[in-house]
């Protein structure tokens, strides 16, 4: 908070209010209003206006049956005026202390209620003074002595209590009081008890000192000391308090010196009797001495509200700007996330495409190699297979000729007989047919293998063809026969499937990957448990007129839920390093999607795995 030093010029409010410090000063128009209120009664006196209450002597003969109340009220006019003025001041003091405590409750500034309590205690003394003067409390002293004496005591108490409250903060600086309401209440009770005690002592005293000297320069000398104290406080004490505890309320204490000084001037140099002109002006100005701090608190609330409102507006503008910035950042973040997601999708698509291209190229190369090998093997195998029939026929003819020659020309000795014995002709007759049959069986096996390789590679069927799925599955089983025979039981549950439109080579790759993975899963269990009985189940099923299903199940190791969620991700594998690329099932998934199909996985750890491949029967109409 930016505060400039206080100077005597502030009393006249001549200097302009700094915009940075105006929130801790009374408004200029209020200061001018205080000066005007304090000076107008004196100016009106110069113009002949008197504010004295007319006092009539008590004359019983004036009382009649019709006018006793009127005469009594007319006689007590001065007392009524005095009572009204005093209680107005007391009410202003009460309002001041109420607002001071509310201010403390809101801001926890202990200076405000302490000074407010000092003013309240002064007001309480004024109240006891009025009660005693009005004989509403027990009093034995004459009002001619009681009222001036208790007035002087109250004014002295007013300045002393206020100076005491201010000095507490100037000397002790009790920061520890900042949040203690009990200390403030304790001080309030103590001040009120002392106030009542002083007034009660004065009211019950038989003899009070003389306080009024009508013919002297100081008509009320007892009021001169409070006059000097008010001036001392206004010039030296209150400004220091204002500088250390800047607020509109502390500044109003400085301005309250104006009506306090004018009040004491009227009483010290002007008032010569009860309820005279200067007496009433002084009591009226005493009300202003309480109203000024009250106005300071009200202005403090007003400026605090304005400051809070301004802060709230600035805060709302900042919040709005921050919200707009946050919204823009959120939009940018969302745009960035969208772009990032697009990049990730593009990278993933590129990675999948690259993987698919690599696998396609690999399978294409493998297919070309398989087709080439199959072609190279197929020609000599067909030559061998075709000649085996002629060899068998020629052998049978040769054996028939040898038998006929033996019948016509038996040889019991000689070279022919020895040769027949050496070559074991009889054994040869029996064994040679078996050898030829075995050779024919082997050539048939080679021809089947070559046909399976040709069916699997399907290089001549890269486009969509109408095929029998079971044929492709059987070809795959033949190729994998070396891994299956003698250790895995294969259960085939085929339904009569219709021919479907598909990419034959790609679907053969699906069967190869799924069956190979099933064999691997069962081999891993078999290695740990030699008594394990592997079982591979392949089933086909017509789901409806549009879809068929191929299920490949094993009773191997199975997958947990975490693995199942990632099983189709590229490069994810459960096999040891060097034994799997993590591309097999990813490619299977892509191929099935390419056929507008679905692949479903059912698996439980140590209970096996089932893959269901659902394919449409008519991917594209084949003409």
pLDDT score of 612: 92
Q: Lowest mean pLDDT of 146-155, 202-211, 303-312, name the range.
A: 202-211
pLDDT score of 17: 42
- Give 198's Cβ-side CA count (13 Å radius): 22
pLDDT score of 579: 58
Mean pLDDT for 352-374 is: 61
Per-residue pLDDT tens over the stretch 461-476: 456 788 888 888 888 8
Alpha-carbon torsion (327, 333, 337, 342), positive or negative:
positive
pLDDT score of 9: 39
pLDDT score of 13: 37
Please give the share of the chain, as a percent, with pLDDT higher than 70.
70
Residue 460 has pLDDT above 70, yes or no: no
Residue 327 has pLDDT above 80, yes or no: yes
Per-residue pLDDT tens over the stretch 39-68: 999 999 999 898 887 655 555 555 454 455
Per-residue pLDDT tens over the stretch 190-218: 766 776 676 666 666 667 778 788 888 88
Q: Give the predicted TM-score (pTM) of the model.
A: 0.48
Cα separation of 533 and 487, whole Å? Answer: 8
Cα separation of 76 and 55, whole Å? Answer: 8
pLDDT score of 357: 63
pLDDT score of 377: 72
Q: Lowest mean pLDDT of 157-171, 193-207, 236-250, name the range.
A: 193-207
Q: List, as one string, the DSSP characters of 219-271.
A: SSGGGHHHHHHHHHIIIIIHHHHHHHS-SHHHHHHHHHHHHHHHHHHHHHHT-
pLDDT band, very low/low/confident/very high, at 312 (cuts 50, 70, 90): confident
Which span out of 106-115, 228-237, 456-465 was modeled with the highest average pLDDT?
Answer: 228-237
Residue 321 has pLDDT above 70, yes or no: yes
**CA angle, 88 then 92 then 94, to 5°:** 115
pLDDT band, very low/low/confident/very high, at 175 (cuts 50, 70, 90): low
Question: What are the C-alpha distances in Å from 64 to residues 56, 60, 70, 76?
Answer: 17, 9, 10, 17
Residue 248 has pLDDT above 60, yes or no: yes
Residue 535 has pLDDT above 70, yes or no: yes
Q: Lowest mean pLDDT of 122-131, 262-271, 541-550, name the range.
A: 122-131
pLDDT score of 14: 33
Phi, psi angle pair for 562, to nearest 5°: -60, -40
Per-residue pLDDT tens over the stretch 331-341: 888 888 888 88
Q: Which residue has the higher pLDDT, 145 or 514?
A: 514
What is the enclosing helix (H) or strand (E) of 552? strand 547-554
pLDDT band, very low/low/confident/very high, at 552 (cuts 50, 70, 90): very high
pLDDT band, very low/low/confident/very high, at 289 (cuts 50, 70, 90): confident
pLDDT band, very low/low/confident/very high, at 539 (cuts 50, 70, 90): very high
Mean pLDDT for 144-170 is: 77
pLDDT band, very low/low/confident/very high, at 33 (cuts 50, 70, 90): very high
pLDDT band, very low/low/confident/very high, at 368 (cuts 50, 70, 90): low
Alpha-carbon torsion (525, 530, 531, 533), positive or negative:
positive
User: In whole numbers, what is the pLDDT of the chain averaged over residues?
Assistant: 76
Residue 295 has pLDDT above 80, yes or no: yes
Mean pLDDT for 246-266 is: 88
Domains, the chain, ordered by start: 28-57+66-300 (1.20.1070), 462-623 (3.30.565.10)
pLDDT score of 187: 64
Q: Which residue has the higher pLDDT, 112 or 600?
A: 600
pLDDT score of 258: 92
Residue 112 has pLDDT above 60, yes or no: yes
Q: How many helices (H) and strands (E) would you count in the chain? A: 18, 7
pLDDT score of 41: 92
The residue with tokens 């679905």 is: 598
Interacting residues of 515 by C-beta distance below 8 A, sequence separation 6+: 476, 477, 480, 536, 538, 552
Per-residue pLDDT tens over the stretch 344-353: 887 877 776 6
Strand partners, 552: 538, 611
């Amino acid at each position: 908070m930016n505060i400039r030093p206080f100077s005597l010029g502030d009393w006249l409010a001549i200097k302009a209010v700094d915009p940075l410090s105006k929130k801790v000063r009374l408004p200029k128009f209020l200061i001018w209003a205080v000066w005007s209120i304090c000076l107008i009664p004196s100016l009106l006196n110069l113009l002949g206006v008197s504010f004295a209450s007319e006092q009539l002597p008590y004359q019983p003969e004036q009382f009649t049956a019709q006018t006793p109340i009127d005469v009594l009220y007319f006689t007590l006019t001065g007392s009524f005026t005095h009572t009204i003025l005093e209680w107005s001041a007391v009410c202003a003091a009460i309002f001041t202390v109420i607002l001071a405590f509310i201010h403390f409750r809101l801001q926890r500034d202990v200076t405000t209620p302490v000074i407010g309590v000092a003013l309240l205690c002064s007001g309480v003394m004024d109240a006891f003074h009025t009660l005693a003067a009005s004989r509403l409390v027990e009093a034995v002293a004459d009002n001619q002595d009681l009222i001036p004496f208790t007035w002087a005591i109250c004014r002295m108490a007013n300045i002393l209590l206020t100076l005491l409250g201010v000095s507490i903060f100037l000397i002790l600086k009790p920061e520890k009081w900042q949040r203690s309401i009990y200390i403030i209440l304790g001080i309030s009770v103590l001040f009120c008890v002392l106030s009542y005690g002083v007034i009660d002592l004065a009211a019950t005293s038989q003899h009070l000192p003389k306080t009024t000297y009508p013919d002297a320069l100081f008509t009320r000398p007892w009021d001169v000391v409070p006059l000097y104290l008010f001036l001392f406080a206004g010039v030296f004490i209150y400004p220091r308090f204002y500088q250390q505890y800047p607020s509109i309320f502390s500044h109003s204490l400085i301005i309250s010196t104006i009506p306090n000084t004018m009040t004491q001037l009227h009483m010290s140099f002007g008032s010569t009797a009860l309820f005279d002109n200067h007496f009433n002006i002084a009591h009226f100005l005493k009300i202003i001495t309480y109203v000024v701090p009250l106005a300071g608190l009200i202005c403090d609330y007003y400026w605090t509200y304005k400051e809070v409102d301004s802060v709230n507006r600035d805060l709302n503008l900042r919040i709005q700007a921050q919200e707009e910035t946050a919204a823009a950042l959120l939009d940018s973040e969302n745009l960035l996330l969208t772009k990032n997601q697009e990049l990730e999708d593009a990278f993933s698509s590129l990675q999948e495409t690259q993987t698919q291209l690599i696998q396609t190229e690999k399978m294409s190369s493998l297919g070309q190699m398989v087709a080439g090998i199959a072609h190279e093997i197929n020609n000599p195998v067909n030559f061998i297979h075709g000649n085996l029939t002629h060899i068998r026929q020629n052998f049978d003819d040769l054996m028939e000729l040898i038998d006929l020659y033996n019948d016509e020309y038996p040889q019991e000795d000689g070279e022919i007989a020895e040769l027949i014995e050496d070559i074991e002709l009889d054994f040869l007759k029996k064994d040679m047919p078996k050898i030829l049959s075995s050779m024919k069986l082997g050539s048939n096996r080679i021809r089947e293998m070559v046909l399976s390789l040709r069916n699997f590679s399907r290089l001549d069927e890269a486009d969509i063809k109408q095929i029998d799925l079971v044929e492709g599955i059987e070809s795959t089983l033949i190729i994998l026969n070396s891994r299956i025979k003698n250790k895995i039981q294969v259960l085939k549950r085929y339904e009569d499937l219709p021919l479907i439109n598909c990419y034959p080579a790609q679907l053969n790759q699906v069967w190869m990957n799924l069956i190979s993975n099933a064999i691997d899963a069962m081999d891993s269990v078999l290695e740990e448990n030699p008594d394990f009985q592997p079982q591979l189940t392949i089933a086909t099923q017509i789901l409806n007129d549009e879809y068929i299903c191929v299920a490949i199940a094993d009773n191997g190791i199975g997958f947990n839920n975490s693995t199942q969620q990632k099983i189709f991700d590229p490069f994810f594998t459960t096999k040891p390093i060097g034994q799997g690329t993590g591309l097999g099932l990813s490619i299977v998934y892509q191929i099935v999607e390419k056929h507008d199909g679905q692949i479903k996985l059912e698996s439980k750890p140590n209970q096996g795995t089932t893959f269901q491949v659902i394919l449409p029967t008519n991917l594209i109409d084949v003409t």
